[in-house]
Amino acid sequence: MFRTRTPTTRLGAQALTGALLACGLCALGAGRAAATTAPAQRPAVPFSATQPDFNGDGYPDLVIGAPQAAVAGAAHAGYVAVMYGSVDGLALDRRTVISRNTGGVPGSPKPNESFGYAVTSADLDDDGYTDLVVGNSDGPGTRSVILWGGPDGLSGATAVPGSLAATGDFNGDGAQDVALMDTAASSNDDPFGTTAVVWNGPISRAGHPASSYTFGENEKYFDMRAVAAGDLNGDGHDDLVALEYTGEGAYATALYTAGASGLGNGTQLTSEAPPASISLAIGDVNGDGFGDVLMGGGDYGAGRLRIGYGAADGPKPSDQWPVIDQNSPGVPGANESGDGFGASLAVGDVDGDGIEDVAVGVPGETLGTTNGKVAAGNIILLRGSLEGLSGVGAQGVSQDTAGIPGTAETGDHFGGRVALDDVTGDGHADLAGAAPHEDGGNGAVWSVRGTGKGLVAAGALVVGPKGINAPATGAAFGADLR
Ligand SMILES: [Ca+2]
Ligand SMILES: [Ca+2]
Ligand SMILES: [Ca+2]
Ligand SMILES: [Ca+2]
């Protein structure tokens, strides 16, 4: 759980506002079913308070991965761009670009390392400033880095094992931990296998965790492809969900329920049909204090979002999970093969009612009814409520939405990645949506503001690599966001 210090008191105040609004909704909903009653387990700080604030000014910041960029002559070496939030949102001149070529970052730019293909954050040294974990895709055997937050933003770095990371307080001691997976994506029958280790926080800048342990007995034989962390059973320990390649063309998702000693062995949540292009997120979308598992995408088809609501004994079996797709009432757009509804997901409270909402990327969506722009892409905002996530109040945003910069074009894949960070610090999460294929594969990211009425076009901004003087050609800018 994110703990506030002096520079982040704005976030604390927003958390209080959100809680009061949520209680107001409880009162309004008093005549409804007992299931809407707020339980005692509700956390003191909403999940959305875990947003990254690297410079500790109270305004959450946005991280953009550009893993395919050439750096210092090394093709596909990659970098990350950090855009700092402010009362006016993001600005092109308020950013830091960091690669293996940046002073203080271990290593040097390496062809095909794809630094920045996966990014995640938490305050890992417990100094009140969020830190950033940047992964590479050249595993197994690769080493990621932690970039350290501070009053001037990110600077300095420490090498850590693995290519893919998830942060959370797994052992429930109040310090943020990081699960580090040394893994890779095998395209053969046999997985490479994963070495999964947790570094318990706080972690020193010299690279020493408070303690560490390995977890996941079966993962020695499986590849981990995607991960998400959050507390699904309300016991104060963050749990982990992972998408895994188990070999012979088979995929599954697994749940690692954390206990007093942290993460142990996984149990299977779902089996997935290949190619298992699943995105994972955890957030509390029904305001009951239990984190809920969100699984988006699923195949090259229309895509769907499955919701495993958390509870004291964890989520129900997955065959009982509700499903939302573009056939669901209120959800914009048509349910078509290839849309990839849910190929990317992000959780945050956009409308400020204290309940988390979900941005759903639909990067394969065709826009326009005649001569449709195939895979121009779309992002749909679904609202959380005390009854759960639904199509009620859903909104679609694309480059063809009035007031949004840019023009939707065939193959942009707008919505290939999404994030919900409150970069204006007003208590409403703002949308970041990437089109990694925009501009011939250079990529670009849009920032769209959240309000009490949802997403609005006013103040929308587009950030591309050229606009921040970063390497642009084929960069896949926005291939990951945090
Ligand atoms: Ca900030
Ligand atoms: Ca820190
Ligand atoms: Ca919940
Ligand atoms: Ca909300």
Tokens of 473: 């050609």
For residue 461, what are the β-bridge partners? 447
Spacing, Cα 384 to ligand 4 middle (Å): 5
Spacing, Cα 147 to ligand 2 middle (Å): 9
Query: Please, is 480 exposed, middle or buried when counting C-beta atoms within 10 Å of its C-beta (0-12, 13-18, 19+)?
Result: buried
Give the closest residue to 421 by CA, choosing from 44, 117, 64.
64
Rg of the Cα atoms in the chain: 20
Spacing, Cα 449 to ligand 3 middle (Å): 25
Spacing, Cα 232 to ligand 3 middle (Å): 8
Specify the DSSP element, H or E, that contains 251. strand 250-256
Spacing, Cα 106 to ligand 1 middle (Å): 24
Q: Helix (H, G, I), strand (E, B), or coil: what is residue 219?
A: helix
* pLDDT for res 252: 95
Tokens of 174: 């109040």
CA distances in angstroms from 231 to 43, 245, 293, listed in the order given? 10, 24, 10
Spacing, Cα 460 to ligand 4 middle (Å): 20
Round to whole Å and give the CA distance between 118 and 442.
17
Q: Are 386 and 33 in contact (CB under 8 A)?
A: no
Spacing, Cα 394 to ligand 4 middle (Å): 11
* % helix, strand, coil for the chain, step of 5: 10, 35, 55
* pLDDT for res 5: 33
Q: Are 8 and 128 in contact (CB under 8 A)?
A: yes
Q: How far is CA 15 from the centre of its chain?
A: 20
Contacts of 472 (CB under 8 A, 6+ apart): 69, 439, 442, 464, 465, 466
Spacing, Cα 357 to ligand 4 middle (Å): 5
Q: Are 326 and 334 in contact (CB under 8 A)?
A: yes
Spacing, Cα 255 to ligand 3 middle (Å): 16
Buried b / exposed e over 194-205, threshold 16 CB at 10 Å, is: bbbbbbbbbbee
Round to whole Å and give the CA distance between 296 and 294.
7
Matching residue, tokens 């050609």? 473
Ligand approaching nearest to the C-alpha of 18: 4
CA atoms within a 13 Å half-sphere pointing along the CA-CB vector of 47: 30
Give the closest residue to 347 by CA, choosing from 287, 429, 452.
429
* pLDDT for res 370: 65
Ligand approaching nearest to the C-alpha of 53: 1
Spacing, Cα 218 to ligand 4 middle (Å): 37
* pLDDT for res 18: 34
Read off the pTM: 0.89
Spacing, Cα 53 to ligand 2 middle (Å): 10
Spacing, Cα 148 to ligand 2 middle (Å): 6
Ligand approaching nearest to the C-alpha of 8: 1
Ligand approaching nearest to the C-alpha of 385: 4
* pLDDT for res 75: 98
Spacing, Cα 43 to ligand 4 middle (Å): 16
Which residues surround the ion ligand 2 when the cut-off is CB under 5 Å? Answer: 123, 125, 127, 129, 131, 149
Spacing, Cα 309 to ligand 3 middle (Å): 5
Spacing, Cα 99 to ligand 4 middle (Å): 35
* pLDDT for res 340: 94
Ligand approaching nearest to the C-alpha of 85: 1
Spacing, Cα 133 to ligand 2 middle (Å): 11
pLDDT (tens, 9 = 90+) of the chain, 482 residues, equals 333 333 333 333 333 333 333 333 333 333 333 333 333 343 434 444 579 999 999 999 999 999 999 999 999 999 999 999 999 999 999 999 999 999 999 999 999 999 999 999 999 999 999 999 999 998 888 899 999 999 999 999 999 999 999 999 999 999 999 999 999 888 888 999 999 999 999 999 999 999 999 999 888 999 999 999 999 999 999 999 999 999 999 999 999 999 999 999 999 999 998 888 899 999 999 999 999 999 999 765 899 999 999 999 999 999 999 999 999 999 999 898 899 999 999 999 999 999 999 999 999 999 986 668 989 999 999 999 999 999 999 999 999 999 999 999 999 999 999 999 999 999 999 999 999 999 999 999 999 999 999 999 999 999 999 999 999 999 999 999 99
> Residue 275, preceding bond cis, omega within 30 degrees?
yes
